[in-house]
Amino acid sequence: MPGDYSVFLGPDVGKSEHHATGLAPDGRQVHDAPLPNTETRLREVFDKLARHGSVLVVVDQPASIGALPVAVARSCGHQVAYLPGLAIRRIADLHPGNAKTDARDAFVIADAARTLPHTLRRVDTGEETLAELEVLVGFDDDLAGGATRWPTGSGVCSPASTPPWKPCSVRRWRIRPCWSC
């Protein structure tokens, strides 16, 4: 994620409770507290952290239970990134301690955002991202169409454009066809 950030905020969202840790670029903690689950209280936390400068909010669950912090951070003008769960677990193994607490997970998320920016994924619903997704989905649709068109013999495939079959191996009285070379 490009940009110079003054605060890397790692909210660990859970089903009942949330916790957030904010780190400065030098690793110093600027925030470490339970994260409220209301829009007004989240805005207060984000505004307090924005006094330090630009804020990067890194979530471990961008949808479902993490949707509110993502939406509020965006509405406050902060960048939002996603750290996949497998990456969090692998990075957490490198940190001391093995207790699975919300505070520790929030610190791991914030520290990974600060020190390992290449592990982050963009959380964006902008026009550019939607266009990229449409291209990918269109490519998948083309592949799926081709896969169903070939065995049924429908579509634009004609016998003249496909190479002839030849027997490749005989096993248990069955001939297995393959493309001739």
Whole-model pTM? 0.64
Q: How confident is the model at residue 139 (pLDDT cuts 50, 70, 90)?
A: low
Give the tens place of pLDDT for each residue, 103-133: 888 888 899 889 888 888 877 656 565 566 5
Maximum pairwise Cα distance, the chain: 78
Residues contacting 79, CB < 8 A, separation 6+: 1, 3, 5, 54, 55, 56, 57
pLDDT higher than 90, residue 22? yes
Dihedral angle sign, alpha carbons of residues 122, 127, 133, 136: negative
What one-letter code names the amino acid at 64?
A: S
* Closest to 20 measured CA to CA, from 105, 142, 119, 127: 105
Q: Which domains does the chain have, with CATH numbers?
A: 7-122 (3.30.420.10)
Going by the DSSP 8-state scheme, the letter that residue 107 receives in this structure is: H
Q: How confident is the model at residue 60 (pLDDT cuts 50, 70, 90)?
A: confident
Going by the DSSP 8-state scheme, the letter that residue 1 receives in this structure is: -
| % residues pLDDT > 70 (the chain) | 62
pLDDT at residue number 53: 93
